Amino acid sequence: MLDPARNGTPRTGDTAAGRARTGLLVVGLFVLVLYVIEIINTLMLHSLNRTFGLRPRNLDGILDILTFPLLHANLAHLFSNTLPLIVFGFLVLLSGLRVFFTTLSLSWLASGVVVWLIGGFNITVGASGLVFGLFAFLLVRGFFNRNWWQILLSVVLFLTYGGVLFGILPTVASFVSWQAHLGGAIGGVLAALLLSVPRAGPLRAGH
């Protein structure tokens, strides 16, 4: 997009460097908020988890869908989610804020709904559902968009992080919420489908 007020030069936010700076800022602030919440939660002996963690099939706690990804069992739990949140969040943000917030919102909602419907009896907290949603979006969007560069990125990400996909299986680890992971992944795929720009003809390079 060109800005006439700047003699036809691209706006800073429309350049790759501008999107990268915005991406680092947004995902950095989001992760910072998670750490601030976790520090407060720790000082309160994790009482926030009991109040705002997601309780499956509990009508009184259905609004906890909006809060449970912001809480964690402990700092180690949050730390394990930090790097993938930064990496996947940044890569999604390179496509713009609308794409990022749509993907994050659908992953958040789908993760919470699946946990609420089929989760176990324990309270669920953690941002791992968002991690799976962002990752799933990055894995499939290139195929919906028929974009070679996005498909190449998905292959690289799959070879690097593909092992985490076992986290959607109920038999892998009983101490994690595979329901949150599965729901987040479903949300990410839905976001990729919703945001796809299908074009007739051969695969394109694109951005």
Instruction: Say if residues 200 and 146 touch (Cβ distance below 8 Å).
Output: no
* Domain CATH number, residue 26: 1.20.1540.10
The answer, yes or no, to whether residue 2 has pLDDT greater than 50, is no
- Residues with Cβ within 8 Å of 163's Cβ and at least 6 positions away in sequence, in order, are none
| SS3 category, 150 | helix
- The 8-class DSSP code of residue 10 comes to B
Q: Residue 197's pLDDT is what?
A: 76
Q: Residue 170's pLDDT is what?
A: 81
The answer, yes or no, to whether residue 101 has pLDDT greater than 90, is yes
Of the candidates 164, 115, 169, the one whose C-alpha atom is nearest the C-alpha of residue 136 is 164
Task: Enumerate the H helices of 11-96 as residue ranges.
Answer: 16-43, 47-52, 75-93
Per the DSSP assignment, residues forming a β-bridge with 19 are: none
Integer Cα distance of 40 and 49 in angstroms: 11
pTM exceeds 0.85 for this model: yes
Task: State in Å, rounded, how far the first CA of the chain is from the last one.
Answer: 14
Residue 152 sits at the vertex; the CA angle it makes with 162 and 2, to the nearest 5 degrees, is: 125
Percent of the chain with pLDDT over 70: 86
Most confident of 43-47, 118-122, 146-150: 43-47
Per the DSSP assignment, residues forming a β-bridge with 2 are: 10
Q: Residue 13's pLDDT is what?
A: 52
Per the DSSP assignment, residues forming a β-bridge with 54 are: 124
pLDDT digits (tens, 9 = 90+) for 52-76: 999 999 898 899 999 999 999 999 9
Task: Write phi, then psi, for 206 (nearest 5 degrees).
Answer: 65, -165
Examine residue 136 and state whether it is found in any structural domain, yes or no: yes
Provide the domain count of the chain. 1
pLDDT digits (tens, 9 = 90+) for 156-196: 999 999 888 888 878 665 567 899 999 999 999 999 999 99
Integer Cα distance of 33 and 190 in angstroms: 26
Examine residue 126 and state whether it is found in any structural domain, yes or no: yes
Of the candidates 125, 115, 24, the one whose C-alpha atom is nearest the C-alpha of residue 81 is 125
**43 in the Ramachandran plot: left (φ > 0), alpha (ψ -120 to 50) or beta?**
alpha
**173 vs 47, more confident:** 47
How many helices and strands, by DSSP H and E, does the chain display?
7, 0
Residue 19 tokens, joined: 């999107």
Examine residue 10 and state whether it is found in any structural domain, yes or no: no
The answer, yes or no, to whether residue 136 has pLDDT greater than 70, is yes
- Structural domain harbouring 78: 16-195
Examine residue 205 and state whether it is found in any structural domain, yes or no: no
Q: Residue 10's pLDDT is what?
A: 46
Integer Cα distance of 79 and 83 in angstroms: 8
